[in-house]
A and B are shown apart, each in its own frame.
Chain A
Amino acid sequence: MSLYGLIAAFAEPDALVHAASAMRDKGYRRMDAFSPFEIRELEAILAIRPTRLPWAVLAGGIAGLVLTYALILYSVEIDYPLNVGGRPLHSWPPFVVIAFEAGILGAALAGFVGVLWANGLPRYHHPAFNAETFSYARGGKFYLLVETADPRFRKGVTRGQLTRLGAETVEEVEA
């Protein structure tokens, strides 16, 4: 049973933020933080790159819009042209309405699928869950995980550092 990393629990968001930045200053890179709600400060500290998901959403939107309009155009112009109320075959105003809705749908689906994909969800089994202390539920706690994979990781040293940063508990996490 190999070691995945050390997970430290903090009582307050600020404590977590402080600890995280401190560890980063010590040169730790392979860290992750867990919190019941988002803590914006961590983004900089953990050097989280801005996500490219907005582009996926845009792409999804355009795809939905274009494909739908194309389908409509094909159906009225090529596949079965019909004189409906003496209106032109290509009556774009009504067609745009449908295409717009389809665009929204495409974008939303792309966003939803995208965020799951990017976050690697569903991920039912994750080392973090091995930690006895780790629980999303208690709500109050805020966790910092330092992975063994980090070049600076030394079990004892790291544990000490975390404890000194005010961690309530520091626990080894099995992979």
Chain B
Amino acid sequence: MPQIFSSNANGIARFVLWGALFVGMFVALGGTALLRSSFLTGVGEAVAQPVPFSHKHHVGQLGIDCRYCHNGVETSSSAGLPATEVCMTCHSQLFTNAAMLAPVRASLASGRPLQWKRVNTVPDFVFFNHSIHVAKGVACETCHGEVDDLPLMARAEPLSMEWCLVCHRDPEPNLRPPQNIFLMHWKPPEDIDRIRKSLTSVLDIHPETMTDCYVCHR
């Protein structure tokens, strides 16, 4: 009986089989990479805000302390956003009729709050507490990046569970002396390792307890 398949069918068959194998592997590897890419985590993407507030200007150039606006950071779970009043303490004197500040003035006049866009956000089943991190020597910079270089706020870290866990398992590399918590571009001294060792004991940090589920999920 005659051939059913032409002579190059064999080649095609082999190509299809190997091809399927490689495609499969590519998808698997690509997928895992994609999960961590800024495309999905949104790292480094500046978010448009009702008022183009520049940390670069206020922190970098004017050197305003983080806590002037985020005044809950040492005592509360949420760092807090400045009330319109706080903006107006200065801007009732400076740039009093700058166009870009119109929404702020409107807010104060109408009593309707500014609606900023969240940049750093975690799922609502994650209970993050700023005060404890600040108290235990984790700097603003460590999670929020060098905001004093950012004209518009952008997420500095993926804020994925993976990312959180890396530090919760071994916090030491991210510790710094409490007095330097609010510094930007902090340069660790030579003996930083020794300092971190002592911080771990002085601040009574127990990494073995920091990966319990309820530390973040309640």
> Do A and B bind?
yes
A: residues with CB less than 8 A from B are 80, 122-125, 129-132, 134-135
The B interface is mostly helix, strand or loop, or mixed, namely loop
Could you mark each residue 132-162 of chain B with 1 if its beta carbon is under 8 Å from any beta carbon of chain A, else 0?
A: 0000000000000000000000000000000
Question: Are A122's CB and B13's CB within 8 A?
Answer: yes
Cα A131 to Cα B4 in complex, Å, equals 12
Interface size class of B (residues with CB under 8 A): 10 to 19
Within B1-49, the residues touching A (CB, 8 Å) are: 1-10, 13-14, 17
Question: Are A124's CB and B10's CB within 8 A?
Answer: yes
The A interface is mostly helix, strand or loop, or mixed, namely loop
Question: Are A132's CB and B10's CB within 8 A?
Answer: no
Nearest chain-A residue to B1 (Cβ)?
Answer: A135
Question: Are B7's CB and A125's CB within 8 A?
Answer: yes
* 10 interchain residue pairs of minimum CB distance: A124-B9, A124-B5, A122-B13, A129-B3, A125-B7, A135-B1, A125-B9, A125-B5, A125-B10, A124-B10
Cα A156 to Cα B1 in complex, Å, equals 23
Cα A122 to Cα B2 in complex, Å, equals 18
How far does the Cβ of B124 sit from chain A's closest Cβ, in whole Å? 23
Question: Are B1's CB and A125's CB within 8 A?
Answer: no
How far does the Cβ of B101 sit from chain A's closest Cβ, in whole Å? 49
Cα A46 to Cα B146 in complex, Å, equals 77
Q: Give chain B residues whose Cβ lies under 8 Å from the Cβ of A124.
A: 4-5, 9-10, 13
Q: Give chain A residues whose Cβ lies under 8 Å from the Cβ of B1.
A: 129, 131-132, 134-135
How far does the Cβ of A28 sit from chain B's closest Cβ, in whole Å? 25
Question: Are A129's CB and B211's CB within 8 A?
Answer: no
Q: Give chain B residues whose Cβ lies under 8 Å from the Cβ of A123.
A: 10
Nearest chain-B residue to A174 (Cβ)?
Answer: B3
B: residues with CB less than 8 A from A are 1-10, 13-14, 17, 211
Q: Give chain A residues whose Cβ lies under 8 Å from the Cβ of B211.
A: 80
Cα A48 to Cα B49 in complex, Å, equals 78
- For this complex, 27 residue pairs linking A to B, each with C-beta atoms less than 8 Å apart, are A80-B211, A122-B10, A122-B13, A122-B14, A122-B17, A123-B10, A124-B4, A124-B5, A124-B9, A124-B10, A124-B13, A125-B3, A125-B5, A125-B6, A125-B7, A125-B8, A125-B9, A125-B10, A129-B1, A129-B2, A129-B3, A129-B4, A130-B3, A131-B1, A132-B1, A134-B1, A135-B1
Q: Give chain B residues whose Cβ lies under 8 Å from the Cβ of A129.
A: 1-4
Nearest chain-B residue to A116 (Cβ)?
Answer: B17
Cα A106 to Cα B205 in complex, Å, equals 45
Cα A129 to Cα B211 in complex, Å, equals 65
Cα A134 to Cα B3 in complex, Å, equals 10
How far does the Cβ of B5 sit from chain A's closest Cβ, in whole Å? 4
Q: Give chain A residues whose Cβ lies under 8 Å from the Cβ of B4.
A: 124, 129
How far does the Cβ of B29 sit from chain A's closest Cβ, in whole Å? 18
Cα A125 to Cα B7 in complex, Å, equals 5
Cα A130 to Cα B5 in complex, Å, equals 11
Q: Give chain B residues whose Cβ lies under 8 Å from the Cβ of A132.
A: 1-2
Cα A135 to Cα B8 in complex, Å, equals 21
